Structure 1
Amino acid sequence: MAATTKTPGQERHSRRGPWYTLLAALLLLLVGAAASAGVLDNLRSGGFDDPGSDSVAAAKGLERSFPNSQPNLVVLVRAPEGGVDGPEAAATGRTIGTTVSDTPGARVVASYFDSADATLRAKDAALVLVRIDGDENRSIATAKQLQEKLSAPGGKVSVTFGGITAINNDMNKQVTKDITAAESIAIPITLLLLVIVFRGLVAALLPMALALLTVIGSLGVVNVVAQLTSVSLFAVNLITALGLGLAVDYSLLIVTRYREERAAGRSDAEALRVTRATAGRTVLFSGGVVAAALATLLVFDQYFLRSFAIAGIAVVFWAVLGSTVFLPAALKLLGKKIDALGRRPRATAVRPPAEAFWGRLAGLAFRRPVLLATPVLVLLVAMAVPFAHSQFGVPDERVLPEKVESRVVTDTVRTDFGLTDDRVLNIVADNWRGSAADLDTYASALSRTAGVTQVVSAEGVFRAGAKVSPLPEQAAAGFRSGDATRLEVRTDIVSYSSAGATLAREVRAVPVPAGTQVLVGGQAAQLVDITHSIANRLPVAITLISVLSLLFLFLLTGSVAMPLKALALNAVSLLGILGGAVWVFQDGHLSDLLGFTASPLAVSMPVLIFCIAFGLSMDYEVFLVARIKERFDKTGDLVGSVREGLGASGPVITAAAAILAVSFFAMLSSGVSLIKMYGMATGLAIMIDAVLLRGVLVPAFMRAVGPYNWWAPAPLKALHRRFGIQESAEVDAPAAARTSTDLTSDLTTDLTQDEPYLTARRP
């Protein structure tokens, strides 16, 4: 083909184009920074409930008709020297009451200093119960104001705060603090690893620049979305960890391939063209798979889960955009300077990929598939066993460190005062159609339910089907409000347990008077509703994530076996990871070392971990299979393709996985056990996937399947030929390098001489 002469204008555009591209990246970074301003103040710490559930409706009914029954801020006053009846404590109590009354949206529900109610006093401590109106963010802001004005943790009279609003406030502060702490750990380690992997500072700084753009851009997207709908504060942890990790993953893939092509004798421009056609294509596919896996979280009703989908899709978009558009522009400008400040020439010749460690491991897996694969599968199954006794709950004060103020106060109220709503089912009827006798009958029937210790209603206190005492008129008034009525069902059963869930269902099954609708709330009912909501949506999510993954991998490989293999191996691996999470965070192993309180797993967390880890696992599947398929398309030699593919991609996958895992393992420094579990499980999933699944199980599987690895029915083959992704002929012809056949012919002889079918061409 004759060379094409560029005009002066085209030449100038060719030189200036990369600068324009990088200028656009800088402008996007500035826009993202502006859009992300104040993002943490606009996010929420809840989102675990199904907003359409009965338990949420019951909570809203109580807030609407019986707001004083739902205090959400507890003020604990301690006076160890003069006692709570002394003048100093009394003055503090009056100050608390006045300050709360003067604060818009806040009111005192009950105070020992106003009523001398003995239930609000324990030894040298007394309580003031406060109700703060408004949504989560508004109530937290009001609680902050009160704490700033009244907080006095030391001195003769101490004032500390607990309750759900204080817990949410402390959780927000802890998560914000932990993000900074985790990144202060992850960023230096990541940069160090990048310098080691790239053997140069300039090349190592490129992924860090891309990570900055990815994180800032994603925070901007999330902040904009937070103006329109509720977004969980915990999604920021995903943005920082995944943003850093994916930016490094994709940069590593692009830069490594670019260096390979230059080392093979291509010019800088030709090396960049081939890199974009091969590694760039892999990045696009990988981003699509990861985004698809995270997008399945949108099917759930809990905004906690949906927030991770929004954040994850934003991260993937920015990481893919940066690595396929902005990074190539930087490489074009740098050229051979990519190796500046490092990368000294090696003293000895570089071994071909098939003879490197990962290539030899692939060869061993082909020769001894059962010997290598069996221990890995046994390990994963053993890890999965604890998941069989998993218990689920909803995050409470136990996710915070033991010494955090709101947790200390909440524990004190439970142990010293015996006041707790975690073992109470709240029943509310906005329009009670029955008579007083009907209410008596209903309360009596509730009290006969197994596990119920007593029922309190406007008609009195009931135990074991009998009324044991009426309520004083003033107390009874707190259970009626116009046509609305409420009941409290007390139990000694742990709410977040299978027994608690059974109790909630049985209470809901108790007949009510005709024409009356009751709503049952409380922690046990909340757990039932969340579990039911997630269970209903889970089949849809699993179907979507499976179909989308199969579709992406089929378009990449044209195979039926390879996508099915990926799904099966991922499922086994992720069950092992979830079992490990149960063993550590529910059963309490390593709790002293990691610093957390064992508790049931938050019911949303297994779903979250599954979708994120599944997406990242498919990320590395694409990395590996793309390389193997590229070799196989050139040679038709299965053994050589696997050895070369794993030999070439193994170091990249391992380095990328190690760096990404660092971002997630850094979350173990968090004070919130929810974040610790998420970071540990995801980091462990990444390392197991990169080392054991890709290094051992994938080659062993391909050895077992043999020539059918790339098989597909004729109609699907035709579909792949039309819509699938294949390398161009130009890419298949390197400028100055030995062909893949030359490279592998001598490396595969020892593996194939006794098993000739392994080198068969595509069926």
Structure 2
Amino acid sequence: MSASLLMPAPMSTTDAVDGSMTSTMSPIDGSGDVWNHERAVSSRVRYTASHGTGSLMPRRYRPAGDRVGVRFPGIAAVARGFEPESSTHARRSTPIDRAERSHRREATSPHRNEGSPVYRSLARWSFQHGLFVLIAWVIALVGVNAAAGAIGAGFSGEFSTPESESSTGFEVLNANFPGAGSAFGGSLVFMADGGVDRTDVVDGMTGYFEEIDAIDGVSVVSPYEPLGQGQIAPDGGIAFAQLNLDSDVDQTRAAVIAEEIREMTPDIDGVTVEIGGAIFAEFEPPESELIGLAFAVVILIVSFGSVMAMGLPIGVALAGVGTGGFGAVSLLSNAVSIPDWAPFIGVMIGLGVGIDYVLFMVTRYRELTRQGSSPLEATMGALDTSGRAVVFAGVTVVLSLLGMLVIGLGFVSGLGIAAATTVAVTLIASITLLPALLGLFHSKVEVTRWRGLLTAGFVALALLGLGLGLPTLASIGGVLALATLVASLFLRPLRRVVPNRRERPLRETTSYRWSRVIQSRPWTFVFLGGGALVLLMLPVFSLRLGFSDEGNLSETTSARRAYDLIAEGFGPGFNGPFLLTVEPGSPADLGLIGAIPEALAADPGVDRVGPPFPSDPADPAASDAFLIQIIPTTSPQDAVTEETVARLRAEVVPSVIDGSTITANLTGAVPANIDFTDYLGGRLLVFFGAVLGVSFLLLTMVFRSVLVPLKAVLMNVLSIASAYGIVVAIFQWGWLSGVFGVEPAPIEPFVPMMLFAIVFGLSMDYEVFLLSRVKEEFDRTGDSANSVADGLAATARVISAAAAIMVVVFGAFLLEDDRIVKLFGVGLAVAVLLDATLVRMLLVPATMELLGARNWWIPRWLDRVLPRLNVEGPAHVEIAEPADELTGEVSEEREPVDA
């Protein structure tokens, strides 16, 4: 019989007054001295408030019935003595036992227990030089944005697909038809009462076109000149002039040109003028992020009851987004092809991850200060634990976004660089500015006065009013916030401290009980949760990638009105004409060129075809190239248009030029979009596989497990696929399209890639934060079931609050007019919601219960080969005052331990 079973269990008594608990016999030294909590703390014996006195034992001891109690609770109730971990058993070792032993070794390994001097030194320096760090960030914020304003931005929406027929056609256009080589030209559409051939209309519009033609980088094809034949509608009421931009004109310059054109618009009776074209489309800076911030304020206040704990995440996130999301990205746009709406996608992502990252660290800081650490010790401990997970998650997001560079397309690379820059700067702010602010405010993080609470609420009201475009509501909120601060100078009740809420022991929380319910029926909940995700992902199998056209813009925009006028006067195909470049190889080919328009016009997908236009109108026979304009019968985003392009390229044109030396390339904005979509769609699976593989490897290095990373990857794929399914149902199928203010259209081809990179990185954040706590409990107790429940209970509130903030920040972008911004908002909000609910709160505890200790199994050879990544930090930073497992009461006496 083990000697530990002969040793009397420590007899405990509980003081009826203060709930403090002492033991009359010490199983550690057998001296009979009173075991009190101060001695346990001063001896650096680890304990956790939710686990009672069993966790007070030194690491070389553990409850004898702990492992057995998982399978035989009755035996565990009797065997409450202590036995050395080195004691042997007669039965054969199982994979579960080997996993337990492996991770008990891991728990005591120096790789786990040693803190990082880098994190702690960074936290100490920032904490002690808080004012300097704060001033440095203010200078960076102002300086970067001032530089961006002085230098100017160079946003560009033009893209080309390497080695595609459309890109080759654009090269021919640029060489032989200057001004027609931009895929993102536009049109100036006008409608006149009484017809566009009225004398005053002809004179006024002709002069207008001449003024526009004088703008640098713009050329105009007027409907009143021979080259513009066919640009007047059959009924004579609507006409358009083609606006061709030089190939080096970017979106920033195009926006300036559009403004100049609007200012030149003549005032002619009965004439309406609209500017069409994607590059001329107005993009208003979104204000919906203010709505997200308003709800973030409320969520943080309700969740944590502290104004300062609310203000720190929001303030740090705004500093990071303001510096990286706007200033830095604007400067980068001069060197990289970045669309003008990319900064706002970066802001959406940066606000979400920035608030989350700081929230995780502030939560750990508050835990440590409540356990007796000084503000400096708590700051170093928070950065050395939660800060590690934050850096790991942030770097994962950045790498995932930068992985888009391997696609080899400037447009996609620019999107990835813009988003990655915003996340990287926000991450740097989280690990430098936060410790600095904690050094400035110290213990004020835990103190909330009624004036602060009320002021925060009124500020949230003001932000909501600004985001909704309700100036009256914004003014009321601002005035009330200011009045509250002034009134607090005279009213003592407003200066009183709001009582802190009593923290319940983990095993009395709803999250713990929820986890135990899930674990009691794991198979049931695996099928329910997995079935729900599979059901939601079904629409993804009908995903159609492609570019939506201007018909999806808001009806309040000039580009949308121009689109509708052209469709009304000429037909939907006029909004997306094709251009066929024809290069004769010999004089004998000139006769065949005349036959091409006839063959094209016979195709059922073609509405009309223009005559071949030579590059040298003075001597057509000496021309190096000819240009033929083709008008399809369907709109640019219609699936039939894609079929028409494929048919013209594969059948119609080759049937005419086969056997000749003619080179023909079908190009234009619509064929270029189709080529881009095909190129990107063919590389999506490669990109997904690379991100999944790297993520699996990183998680394996972190958790020293094979099944946990595999399970995490599969669940993340399920949640992301489910988000894709909902996006397809709303934006492609048109379900609830009226509610969301969108029209059914294909999904932009770069959206699934960016959503995958962002969401997978964010889910890694939650994964690491949750599983690191679960693994910590398992390393300490060897109890797989309780470690899952305890880890979930310890992280549920902060994960729920972080997810809720992301959902409202992302979801608020549904109020924007731009379809792409809405698409990102819905996709990100749904993905985070599913990940934080169905995955983290249901599938994770259920699957981990089924796997048991096998969760932490890893082949020995793999364990030796893989490098170690420690995102949990040192094991001794948790210095919680012990509490009774049933009552949760804590001794008033505490002795802080260095973190």
Query: How does the TM-score come out when normalised to structure 1?
Result: 0.84
CA contact (8 A) 2:551 2:563 kept: no
Deviations 1:3-33 (A, max 9, x none): xxxxxxxxx9998533333333333333333
Q: Output one character per residue of 1:414-463: Cα deviation in whole Å (capped at 9) or x when no partner.
A: 221348445654221345445223435666666676755666553xxxxx
Unaligned runs of 5+ in 1: 3-11, 459-470, 747-763
Cα distance in 1 for partners of 2:270, 2:607 equals: 37
Q: CA RMSD in A?
A: 3.4
Match of 1:724 in 2: 869
Q: Which residue of 2 aligns with 1:50?
A: 161
2:778 touches 2:784 (CA, 8 Å); kept in 1?
yes
- The answer to whether 1:277 aligns with 2:384 is yes
Aligned to 1:754: none
Deviations 1:569-603 (A, max 9, x none): 11111111111111111121222222222212222
Deviations 1:727-761 (A, max 9, x none): 566x336445339xx86999xxxxxxxxxxxxxxx
Distance 2:126 2:211 in 1: 68
Distance change in 2, residues 1:442/1:397 (3 Å): closer
Letter in 2 for 1:156: D
- Give the whole-Å Cα distance in 1 for the aligned partners of 2:351 and 2:151: 18
| 2:730 aligned with 1:623 | no
Equivalent residue runs for 1:64-463 within 5 Å: 64-67=175-178, 72-80=185-193, 83-112=195-224, 120-121=232-233, 122-134=235-247, 135-137=249-251, 138-150=253-265, 152=267, 156-164=269-277, 167-170=278-281, 173-174=282-283, 176-177=284-285, 179=286, 181-218=287-324, 219-342=326-449, 349-418=502-571, 420-421=573-574, 424-430=577-583, 432-433=585-586, 434-440=588-594, 451=605, 457-458=611-612
* AA matched with 2:192: A
> What's 1:61 paired with?
172
* Counterpart code for 1:334: F
Shift in CA distance, 140/241, structure 1 to aligned 2, threshold 3 Å = closer
- Return the match for 2:741 from 584, 590, 595: 595
Q: CA deviation at 1:683?
A: 0.7
Q: Cα distance 1:395–1:96, how it changes in 2: closer, same or farther (>3 A)? A: same
Distance of aligned partners of 1:77 and 1:489 in 2 relative to their CA distance in 1, 3 Å threshold = closer
Q: Map of 1:324-723 to 2, 5 A cutoff?
A: 324-342=431-449, 349-418=502-571, 420-421=573-574, 424-430=577-583, 432-433=585-586, 434-440=588-594, 451=605, 457-458=611-612, 482-489=623-630, 491-492=632-633, 496=637, 499-509=640-650, 510=654, 512-522=658-668, 525-720=671-866, 723=868
Amino acid at match of 1:400: L
Amino acid at match of 1:436: L
Change (3 A) 1:147 1:589: same
TM-score (norm 2): 0.72
Greater mean deviation of Cα atoms: 476-485 or 245-254: 476-485
Per-residue deviation, residues 129-158 of structure 1 (Å, max 9, x unmatched): 343434233344323212211165xx7232
Residue 11 (structure 2) aligns with: none
Letter in 1 for 2:357: Y
- Does 18-27 or 692-701 show the bigger shift? 18-27
2: distance between equivalents of 1:436 and 1:118? 24
SS at match of 1:392: coil
Pairing 1:31–2:175 present? no
Structure 1 residues 533 and 151: alpha-carbon distance in aligned structure 2, compared to 1, 3 A threshold: farther
Please state how far the C-alpha of 1:635 moved relative to its aligned partner. 1.9
- Asked whether the equivalents of residues 63 and 70 of structure 1 are also in contact (C-alpha less than 8 Å), the reply is yes
Q: CA deviation at 1:698?
A: 0.7
**1:527-563 deviations in Å (ceiling 9; x for gaps):** 4412331134323312321122112212221111111
> 1:464 corresponds to which residue?
none
SS at match of 2:841: helix
Distance in 1 separating the partners of 2:393 and 2:422:
13
1:593-636 CA-partner distances (Å, limit 9, x unpaired)? 22222212222222222222222122211121122122222222
Matched with 1:761 is none
For 1:116 and 1:533, the matched residues in 2 are separated by: 34
Please report how far the alpha carbon of residue 260 of structure 1 lies from its aligned counterpart in structure 2 after TM superposition: 1.0
- What SS class does the counterpart of residue 93 from structure 1 fall into? helix
Distance 2:537 2:303 in 1: 33
Going from structure 1 to structure 2, the CA distance change for 1:15 and 1:162 (only over 3 Å counts) comes to: closer
- Which residue identity is paired with 1:92? G
> Deviation digits for residues 182-227 of structure 1, max 9, x if unmatched?
1232222222322223312222211122112211221232122212
Find the aligned partners of 2:701 and 2:885 in 1 and give their Cα distance.
27
CA contact under 8 A between 1:457 and 1:479: conserved in structure 2?
A: no
1:338 deviates by 1.0
Contact 1:432 1:484 in 2 (8 A): no
Distance of 1:14 and 1:527 partners within structure 2: 49
Q: Are the aligned partners of 1:162 and 1:405 in contact in 2 as well (CA < 8 Å)?
A: yes
| C-alpha separation in 1, matches of 2:868 and 2:882 | 31
Could you tell me the percent identity over the aligned residues?
27
Match of 1:203, as an amino acid?
Answer: A
Alpha-carbon distance change, 15 to 659 in structure 1, aligned in 2, over 3 angstroms: closer
AA in 2 matched with 1:688: L
Query: Aligned partners of 1:408 and 1:277: how far apart in 2?
Result: 56
- Kindly provide the CA deviation profile for residues 219-257 of structure 1, in whole angstroms up to 9, marking residues without a partner as x: 232122212121122221222112211121111111111
2:238 aligned partner, one-letter code: A
C-alpha change, 1:140 and 1:14, in structure 2 (3 Å) is closer
Q: Does the CA contact (< 8 Å) of 1:39 and 1:223 recur in 2?
A: no
Aligned CA distance change for structure 1 residues 221 and 118 (closer, same or farther; 3 Å): closer
* CA–CA separation in structure 2 for the residues paired with 1:392 and 1:661: 25
1:103 and 1:557 map into 2 onto residues whose CA distance is 61
Deviation at 1:711, TM superposition (A): 0.9
Q: Does 1:20 align with 2:135?
A: no
- Structure 1 residue 359: deviation in Å? 1.9
Distance in 2 of aligned mates of 1:616 and 1:40: 32
Greater Rg over alpha carbons, structure: 2
Q: Is the 8 A contact 1:285 1:552 kept in 2?
A: no
- Comparing 651-660 and 215-224, the one that deviates more: 215-224
Q: Distance in 2 between matches of 1:270 and 1:347?
A: 22
In 1: Cα distance, 2:710 partner to 2:372 partner: 38
CA drift at 1:660: 1.5
With 392-401 and 244-253 compared, the bigger mean Cα shift is at: 392-401
Number of residue-to-residue matches in the alignment = 709
What is the rounded CA distance, in whole Å, between the counterparts of 2:134 and 2:436 in structure 1? 7
